[in-house]
Amino acid sequence: MALHVIKLCVGAVSIQDLVDWHDHQAFSRLALGLDPRPVCDTRMTPKRRSEILDGGSLYWVIKGQILVRQEIEDIVTLEEADGRTRCEIVLKHHHILTAPRRRAAFQGWRYLQVKDAPPDLKNLDGGDELPEPLRKELLDLGAW
């Protein structure tokens, strides 16, 4: 059964910031001859790798709310020159909007059970979605 990961999107104030960051990351990685898929760098490698790779997603917390997710394609542990390890969570470049859900700040990443994950709204590739400022205002007002 799938297991998800949740992480703060530090420095982003909107979903578009995250999308723009991943676009920039893809072009930069491609220019270096690397896999252009977006990656989330983290210090600790998830121990429950097989569960995550069985359909798990990375849920992004932006400004205190879970707003979007990306499917996880791989989890790679890399060793640095100084002997320390780090982890790259390899993501699909496809961003899927989720129902907004408040989430307190935390460090690093956390596991997120399927039953605790917010439902999807629709993907960012089209359709009539609410503008992000309006979504945030509705959430702040308690209307969502």
Per-residue confidence (pLDDT) for residue 128, from 0 to 100: 52
Residue showing tokens 């491609």: 30
> Per this entry, what is the length of the chain?
144
Q: Burial code of 95-125, b = ≥16 C-beta within 10 A, e = fewer?
A: bbbbebbebeeeeebeebeeeebbeebeebe
Mean confidence (pLDDT) of the chain: 88
pLDDT digits (tens, 9 = 90+) for 88-127: 999 998 999 998 899 998 888 999 999 999 999 865 454 4
Per-residue confidence (pLDDT) for residue 122, from 0 to 100: 63
- Ranges in the chain, pLDDT < 70: 122-130, 132, 135-136, 138-144
pTM of the model: 0.83
How far is Cα 4 from Cα 119, in angstroms, rounded to an integer? Answer: 13
